[in-house]
A and B are shown apart, each in its own frame.
Chain A
Amino acid sequence: MSEVPADLRFLKSHEWARLEDDGRVRVGISDHAQEALGDLVFVELPEVGDELEADQACAVVESVKAASDVYAPLAGEVVEVNETLNDSPELVNEAAYGDGWLFCIQPADAAAMDGLLDAEAYAQLLDSE
């Protein structure tokens, strides 16, 4: 059974978002998503400075099996990307909610986090799939 940490917010398309103390939002894909994709071999990240719209396709995670778009959970500017993934995409498999994070956004409006699924709603979504 996939783990769903209580402090995260989620998209139906299986991205997670965490509001950090400094006001930035860290983004990754859920444990369920990495498990469904299988061994990741390639991650294409946005560039620092990119301005993202909410729900914009802005990254790609690619496994041996398939390529999958990653959508921005909310609007804002990309302020950091996880460069480690260029050489070690398997970190997403090993720690989807930890070292396998993808990028950080400086949100245009942090209140948009409230519009995302909470852990309970996401867990229900997984159950219904």
Chain B
Amino acid sequence: MARHTPLHSAHLALSARMVDFGGWDMPIHYGSQIEEHHAVRRDAGLFDVSHMTVVDLHGEQCRAFLSRLLANNIDKAATRGKAIYSCMLTETGGVIDDLITYYLEDDWFRMIVNAATREKDLAWIRQQAEPFHLEVKERDDLAMLAVQGPNARERAAGLLPRELATAALELKRFNALDADGLFVARTGYTGEDGFEMVVPGDQAGDWWQRLLDAGVQPCGLGARDTLRLEAGMNLYGQDMDEDTTPYEAGLAWTVALEPADRDFIGRAALERQRADGVPCALVGLVLEGRGVLRHGQRVICPGGEGQITSGTFSPTLEQSVAMARVPTGTSGRVTVEIRNRELPARVVSPPFVRNGKMNPAIQEDS
């Protein structure tokens, strides 16, 4: 039986097309995925992301625990409200999940992990947290809304009490605030500016309606996927999993090997891989010509074979883009097998889209 978010009936009322996503019955679009995509790039869009898992950590040793759990260094979150993006790894360096951790109080950190990995994440976190005497609290009483787009912050702030609105608009990127159970973070998964708001589940419907009334367009998980891919953001389970290290998933920037004495889970395996050489890399591909790159397609490279991990038609660029795992050192042009045809694609560094337009760095002549 598929799980429902508190906004399930609101989606049905808008005639959303629903799909199963990680065990949740979620909207894929409300009519046109492409129009929803453009709404986020040009104005403001609203996503129900209540299927994601909010985990609160309480206890004096939160920081020590996170320093052990996360491949990124939690001490980069040095001021209250600051967040970091990180992977948590197995002992062999495989990615268990990617997540955002917010520093709210010295004895309170909030983690937001993926929906599809909820059970294994919670089990892993609880197991690792034991020696640190923490309370690990799954907040399934909360709902989460993402308001994203160039006009999103302004629209959302207009609905907040005045003092809170000012504070929300002053948030720096990757920072959050919590005011009596209303959590507002300047984070997202679209490549646009915006907020992710965590509210009590029984108030979600009210927030949803007020945001729609403020002119924010409802957007489904379909647009969320094309937006994140254009922004060069990985999707867990597609672009990385427990069989890939962060180095093989374009996430080297999230691994903090300094300070050298921080003993995080997976560190030894990553150091070994670095010394031996990382065999493959996650790169961006832009398809030359017509067709659509998709997950699982074979990529023929000068140095061997690779595979598309995520591919789609980019509504902003009006051509197909993808992320692909290819032999280390692959650059220039490769060939992709699409439905028994071989088509050329160009290797680029994501993001594909920046500030609502093609990232100049991926243009052919640059």
Q: Which residues of A contact B (CB under 8 A)?
A: 38-39, 41-42, 44, 60, 62, 64-65, 67, 93
Contact = CB atoms under 8 A, between A and B. Distances in A.
A93 B31 CA distance: 11
A53 B17 CA distance: 35
Given A64-B312, A67-B292, A67-B294, A38 B339 contact: no
Q: How extensive is the interface on chain B, given as a class? A: 10 to 19
Interface in B338-362: 339
B66 to A, nearest CB: 37
A42 B292 contact: yes
Contacts of A42: 290-292, 313
Given A41-B292, A62-B292, A64-B222, 4 more contacts: A62-B313, A64-B292, A64-B312, A64-B313
Chain B CB within 10 Å, residue with most, of A39, A44, A60: A39
Interface in B14-36: 17, 28-29, 32-34
B5 interface: no
11 contacts: A38-B17, A38-B28, A38-B29, A38-B32, A39-B33, A41-B313, A64-B33, A64-B34, A64-B222, A64-B292, A64-B312
Given A39-B32, A39-B33, A42-B313, A64 B291 contact: no
B310 interface: no
A38 B33 contact: yes
Contacts of B86: none
Contacts of A60: 339
Given A62-B292, A64-B312, A65-B222, A39 B34 contact: yes
Contacts of B339: 60, 67
Contacts of B53: none
Interface in B257-310: 290-292, 294
Interface of B: 17, 28-29, 32-34, 222, 226, 290-292, 294, 312-313, 315, 339
Nearest to A39: B34
Contact of A64 (B17, B226, B290): B226
Nearest to B292: A62
A87 to B, nearest CB: 11
A65 B17 CA distance: 13
Chain B CB within 10 Å, residue with most, of A44, A64, A67, A93: A64
Pairs A-B, 5 closest by C-beta atoms: A41-B313, A39-B34, A62-B292, A64-B313, A39-B33
Contacts of B312: 64
Contacts of B226: 64
A44 B341 CA distance: 12
Contacts of A38: 17, 28-29, 32-33, 222
A22 to B, nearest CB: 31
Contact of A62 (B33, B34, B222, B291): B291
Contacts of A65: 28, 33, 222
B348 to A, nearest CB: 20
Contacts of B291: 42, 62
B167 to A, nearest CB: 38
Nearest to A41: B313
Contacts of B292: 41-42, 62, 64, 67
A65 B32 CA distance: 12
